[in-house]
Amino acid sequence: MKFAYVFVTLVLAACSMAAISDRYGNEYGGWYNPGADYRWQLELCEHQVEARDTPLAQRKLALRCCMQAHGVPISDPQDCRA
């Protein structure tokens, strides 16, 4: 039983290393496309969202759409269509 707990902990730790998240709760990347590859897009988009004075309620979606516009796959791209 202890082995199962250790295994689950290791799997969760490995998955968290493969993805990155922004300050609004969005996650990017995964096991087959490591999120660390998207670090520059995340920094650029966070900077753009803040520079545009996007209202706080809209920042989560605005950041996801910015990331998608810069080539980062997101879970539901339909959200970003105008």
Distance CA 74, CA 67 (A): 8
Give the pLDDT of residue 69.
94
Residue type, 62: A
Taking 70 as the threshold, does the pLDDT of residue 80 lie above it? yes
Over the stretch 29-73, which tens digit does the pLDDT of each residue have? 877 777 778 899 999 999 999 999 999 999 999 999 999 999 998
Beta bridge mates, 27: 21
User: CA 19: distance to chain centroid?
Assistant: 7
Residue, of 25 and 9, whose pLDDT is higher: 25
**Pairing, β 20-21 against β 27-28:** antiparallel
Residue type, 73: P
Check: pTM over 0.75? Answer yes or no: no
